């Protein structure tokens, strides 16, 4: 199912923004990828979260470039830190498993969970 992600025209970005602004984040991700991939929403909902996020990062790079601004807060003193990050660095590392953050005893990794599964909860 590997389809090239294509950049979005300014008009298409506005269409996607308009359609996605009232949507849940799960649906917004699928709206973006549907516009950029030519795949159906159904096909994209079957991607693992890791595959989905890799495609979102590729799309972001095509539209906005590889640079991104990160913001974090020190857990000790609360000091806010801003930093620049190359999204290629994120894409080459496995994402943190959110399932294991929510439930440390979980056996499954969220990277194997699919959008379809999350939206049915």
How many residues touch Zn ion under the rule CB under 5 A: the total is 4
Q: How far apart are CA 111 and CA 97, in angstroms?
A: 7
Does residue 69 interact with Zn ion by CB under 5 A? no
Q: Residues 72-111: x/- map of binding to Zn ion (CB under 5 A)?
A: --x-xx-x--------------------------------
Taking the CA atoms of 22, 33, 7 and 39 in sequence, report the sign of the dihedral they define.
negative
Rg (CA), the chain: 16
Contacting residues for 17 by C-beta, under 8 A, at least 6 apart = none
* Residue 114 Cβ vs Zn ion, minimum distance, rounded to whole Å: 38
Q: Which is nearer to Zn ion, 42 or 73 (CB)?
A: 73
Do β-strands 80-86 and 67-73 pair in parallel, antiparallel, or remain unpaired? antiparallel
| Residue of closest CB approach to Zn ion | 74
* Residue 95 Cβ vs Zn ion, minimum distance, rounded to whole Å: 25
* Residue 71 Cβ vs Zn ion, minimum distance, rounded to whole Å: 14
């Amino acid at each position: 199912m590997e389809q090239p992600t294509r950049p979005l025209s300014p008009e298409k970005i506005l269409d996607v923004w308009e359609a996605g602004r009232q949507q849940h984040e799960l649906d917004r991700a699928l709206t973006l990828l549907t516009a950029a991939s030519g795949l159906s929403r159904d096909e994209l909902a079957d991607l693992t979260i890791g595959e989905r996020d890799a495609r979102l990062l590729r799309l972001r790079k095509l539209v906005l470039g590889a640079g991104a601004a990160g913001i974090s807060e020190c857990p000790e003193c609360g000091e806010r830190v801003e930093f620049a990050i190359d999204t290629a660095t994120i894409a080459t590392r496995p994402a943190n498993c959110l399932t294991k953050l929510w439930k440390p005893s979980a056996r499954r990794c969220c990277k194997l969970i699919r959008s379809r599964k999350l939206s049915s909860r």
